[in-house]
Amino acid sequence: MKIDRRYVNIIREFMISGFKLRTGGAVLGFAWTLLHPLLMLLILYMLFSKRIGSGIPHYGIFLMVGIVHWNFFSRATANSLRSIITRRVMLNNVHIPITAVVAGSILEVFVSFLFELFIVGGFILFLGIGFSKAVFWLPFVIFIQLLLIAGISLVLACFNVYFKDIEYVWDVMLKIGFFVTPIFYEPSMFVSRQKLSLYLINPLTRIIMFARDILLFRRSPDPINMLCLFLSALVIFLVCYLVFKKLEGAIIERI
């Protein structure tokens, strides 16, 4: 398969420029981006460590893994949602593949996510939890999350060109998603056994649960469950991609 060099270069430059814009290209700016998840961790830990977290070992790490994966999803999709509209002047004068604009926006957040994940890894080592062989499953979990984000982001970025209020709709959905995804609780605490299969339809729930299994509980995910998760993310991606392809042709004419 021949890789289009220009396409890859554009994605990389969008990723670098987006990251620099967010951090101001300085260490202090980057530190500010880490402050948000840290504050979130602190608040959730203070609120829930006694009640919800009391039966969960290393509740701080439990929270961290949930927050880092949730933030990656919410920030990447929100960032991509605005990616076409914020570059409308550029896209009106230059032929750039829309997918490259969206991919650049996702990867820009992905870089921050990797840094945050390294910090989580540092805490895991510091607290003496350590890593098992299960950690080799983590790249697969991250890949599945990227696939899910890519599909949803393509459709959101496209819809945002058509509908000006999609940003508010997605914001509300993310707020709901924060509570229906097990970021600060174990699903078994609030979801009955009968409703668990319905609850697990949300692929992000499984992604966070698998990441915790790997990083915190040092156990490998069930390969069949992992395959199911991959297939569900793939189906979501393909459906979203088809919707995107249907709308893509008219994007430049609309912006």
Q: Which residue has tokens 């499984």? A: 206
Q: How far apart are CA 117 and CA 125, in angstroms?
A: 12
Q: Which amino acid is at 57?
A: P
Shortest distance, position 109 Cβ to other proteins, whole Å: 17
Shortest distance, position 26 Cβ to other proteins, whole Å: 12
Residues in the chain: 255
Q: How far apart are CA 255 and CA 250, in angstroms?
A: 9
* Binding site residues, other proteins, CB under 8 A: 5-6, 9-10, 12-14, 16-17, 20-21, 25, 89-90, 92-96, 160-166, 169, 249-250, 252-254
Residue 96 vs 135, nearer CB to other proteins: 96
Q: How far apart are CA 52 and CA 239, in angstroms?
A: 37
CA atoms within 13 A on the CB side of 127: 16
Shortest distance, position 180 Cβ to other proteins, whole Å: 22
Residue 32 vs 190, nearer CB to other proteins: 32
Token couple for 204: 């992000």
Shortest distance, position 81 Cβ to other proteins, whole Å: 13
Residue 25 vs 122, nearer CB to other proteins: 25
> What's the chain's Rg over C-alpha atoms?
19
Residue 127 vs 250, nearer CB to other proteins: 250
